[in-house]
């Protein structure tokens, strides 16, 4: 465990190839050259200022205003050029990542071929995306085209029962500087609340089955709706980072995704074994020599925070979960979500063939990890998570506010008075 923690604290986000570094250097060089050329060719604002100060005191207010406009315009152009550099760098990163996935798909899905030498064979991990179909929901397609960045966005469902937490949720998203997020409003009040706070919002067309639950349903009922609602997002070709509203954002999660699986989810596990899986030995003494049976265990994925790509297995997962929840409204969506994702094919049942990845439990942190382990460990307290999900505690709003104070405002003792669990 100590090695895992030290490795996390010195974590390198990845290594790029020599070719990628050369391409990046060329792009940066060209853009910086453009910026330099722009400012070399244009008269500098300070020169104008000095010239004006040396001129007659009778300069007209119109000339002074014009000078101010020129300075402001130059600053805006500089800011825009910087933004273009950032955007191009991000496009390059995604292009390199997409190129690797495309090569894997070509190798596996192309012509039949012999297996390579021992240790070199690798199966397909990344399923191809579906062809976007805007006819499914043209209105939503237009909204997503305006909100999403590189066909990705955070999506949260909310009704008036979670209004207080929703405000804290989007306030921290804005503070971190995440632009690509959307609230699916389940009632009129939340729709107007989002609009009044300049929060991107989408209100679905009337649907009796969804609207009845959305307006008055509790946490579990509303949570179950997402599997029906998200389907259209995927059909339109968008990857979705599904988020509950009891989550505090501390960094941009899109900087920490691998995007190599159909589903990438945070875990309810609280250590390496429970989060990533372990061999659990079952002891049955009456069996004598065969008393020990080895089993594989892993704690469930959290259905309140997962990244899902627009692939056929992903859409099949949503359909399976939504179908089961509609037939048994009392079932828990998180349990059904994990059963469909993990149970293998067996007599009478065809399992889902979806690729999955468990998120880093210290970066995508649940509240059990924070309150039982991290806050008591001097090294782990220095680690800044990407998000903290207050999923283990009923006093959600109070703990969310304390988490903001601890990580964003540096109040080191603000978490101390909370119990590990719930009273």
Q: What is the pLDDT of residue 18?
A: 39
Mean pLDDT throughout 17-38? 51
Give the lowest-confidence range in 79-93, 131-145, 198-212, 234-248: 79-93
Q: What is the pLDDT of residue 125?
A: 76
Task: Please state whether beta strands 301-308 and 239-243 pair in parallel, antiparallel, or not at all (unpaired).
Answer: antiparallel
Residue 112 pLDDT class (50, 70, 90 cuts)? confident
Residues in the chain: 423
State yes or no: pLDDT of 171 exceeds 70.
yes
State yes or no: pLDDT of 85 exceeds 90.
no
Q: What is the pLDDT of residue 75?
A: 74
State yes or no: pLDDT of 153 exceeds 60.
yes
Q: What is the pLDDT of residue 51?
A: 43
**What's the angle, vertex CA 249, arms to CA 246 and CA 252, rounded to 5?**
140
Q: Following DSSP, what letter does each residue of 261-308 receive, concatenated?
A: SSEEEEES-SSHHHHH-EEEEEE-GGGGGG-EEEEEE-PPEEEEEEEE
Closest residue by Cα to residue 178 from 198, 196, 201, 154: 154
- Using DSSP, state whether 354 is helix, strand or coil: coil
**What are the phi and psi torsion angles at 80 (to 5°)?**
-65, -40
State yes or no: pLDDT of 56 exceeds 50.
no
| HSE value, Cβ hemisphere, 13 Å, CA-based, for 171 | 12
- Using DSSP, state whether 337 is helix, strand or coil: helix
Mean pLDDT throughout 53-63? 58
State yes or no: pLDDT of 44 exceeds 50.
no
Closest residue by Cα to residue 403 from 172, 156, 162: 172
Residue 99: its H or E element: helix 61-109
Q: Rounded mean pLDDT of the chain?
A: 84
Cβ count within 10 A of residue 42: 12
State yes or no: pLDDT of 92 exceeds 90.
no
Rounded alpha-carbon distances, angstroms, from residue 247 to 165, 194, 316: 9, 17, 27
Q: What is the pLDDT of residue 224?
A: 77
State yes or no: pLDDT of 101 exceeds 90.
no
Q: Following DSSP, what letter does each residue of 160-215 receive, concatenated?
A: GGGHHHHHHHHHHHHHHT---EEEEESSHHHHHHHHHTT--EEEPPP-HHHHHHHH
Q: What is the pLDDT of residue 405?
A: 98
Q: What is the pLDDT of residue 49?
A: 41
State yes or no: pLDDT of 132 exceeds 70.
yes
Highest mean pLDDT: which range of 81-95, 104-118, 222-236, 262-276:
262-276
For the chain, the C-alpha Rg in angstroms (whole number) is 26
Integer Cα distance of 312 and 338 in angstroms? 18
Residue 248 contacts residue 387 (beta carbons within 8 Å): yes
State yes or no: pLDDT of 110 exceeds 80.
no
Residue 388 contacts residue 382 (beta carbons within 8 Å): no
Task: Give me the helix-helix angle, 333-342 and 312-327, nearest 10°.
Answer: 140
Residue 18 contacts residue 370 (beta carbons within 8 Å): no
Q: What is the pLDDT of residue 123?
A: 82
Residue 163 contacts residue 193 (beta carbons within 8 Å): yes
State yes or no: pLDDT of 127 exceeds 50.
yes
| HSE value, Cβ hemisphere, 13 Å, CA-based, for 414 | 15
Residue 114 pLDDT class (50, 70, 90 cuts)? confident
Integer Cα distance of 233 and 136 in angstroms? 9
Q: For residue range 313-363, list pLDDT tens digits in order.
A: 999 999 999 999 999 988 999 999 999 999 999 999 999 999 999 999 999
Q: For residue range 369-418, list pLDDT tens digits in order.
A: 999 999 999 999 999 999 999 999 999 999 999 999 999 999 999 999 99
Q: Residue 329 has what DSSP assignment?
A: T
| More confident of the two residues 381 and 68 | 381
Residue 46 pLDDT class (50, 70, 90 cuts)? very low
Q: For residue range 281-299, list pLDDT tens digits in order.
A: 999 999 999 999 999 999 9
């Amino acid at each position: 465990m100590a090695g895992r923690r030290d490795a996390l604290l010195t974590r390198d986000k990845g290594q790029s190839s020599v070719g990628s570094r050369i391409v990046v250097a060329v792009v940066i060089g060209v853009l910086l050259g453009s910026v330099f050329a722009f400012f070399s060719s244009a008269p500098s604002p300070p020169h104008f200022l000095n010239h004006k100060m040396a001129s007659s005191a009778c300069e007209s207010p119109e000339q002074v205003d014009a000078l101010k406009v020129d300075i402001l315009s130059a600053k805006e152009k500089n800011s825009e050029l910087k933004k273009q550099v950032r955007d191009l760098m991000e496009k390059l990163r995604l292009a390199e990542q997409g190129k690797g996935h495309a090569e894997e798909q070509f190798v596996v899905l192309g012509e039949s071929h012999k297996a390579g030498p021992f240790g070199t064979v690798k199966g397909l991990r990344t399923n191809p995306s579906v062809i976007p179909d805007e006819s499914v929901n043209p209105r939503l397609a237009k909204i997503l085209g305006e909100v999403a960045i590189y066909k990705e966005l955070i999506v949260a469902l909310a009704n008036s029962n979670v209004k207080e937490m929703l405000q804290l949720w989007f306030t921290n998203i804005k503070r971190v500087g995440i632009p690509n997020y959307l609230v699916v409003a389940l009632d009129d009040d939340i729709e107007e609340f989002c609009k009044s706070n300049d929060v991107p919002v989408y209100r679905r067309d009337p649907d009796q089955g969804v609207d009845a639950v959305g307006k008055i349903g509790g946490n579990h009922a509303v949570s179950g709706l997402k599997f029906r609602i998200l389907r259209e997002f995927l059909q339109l070709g968008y990857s979705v980072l599904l988020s509950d509203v009891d989550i505090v954002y501390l960094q941009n999660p899109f900087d920490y995704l691998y995007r190599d699986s159909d589903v990438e989810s945070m875990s309810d596990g609280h250590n390496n074994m429970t989060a990533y899986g372990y061999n659990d030995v079952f002891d049955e003494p009456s069996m004598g020599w065969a008393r020990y049976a080895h089993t594989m265990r892993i704690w469930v994925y959290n259905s309140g925070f997962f990244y899902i790509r627009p692939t056929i297995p992903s859409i099949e997962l949503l359909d399976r979960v939504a179908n089961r929840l509609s037939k048994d409204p009392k079932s828990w969506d998180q349990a059904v979500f994990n059963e469909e994702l993990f149970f293998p094919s067996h007599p009478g049942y065809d399992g889902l063939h979806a690729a999955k990845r468990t998120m880093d439990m210290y970066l995508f942190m649940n509240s059990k990890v924070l309150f039982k382990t991290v806050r008591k460990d001097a090294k782990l307290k220095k680690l800044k998570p990407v998000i903290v999900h207050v999923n283990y505690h009923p006093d959600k709003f109070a703990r969310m506010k304390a988490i903001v104070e601890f990580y964003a405002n540096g109040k080191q003792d603000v978490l101390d008075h909370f119990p590990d669990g719930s009273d």
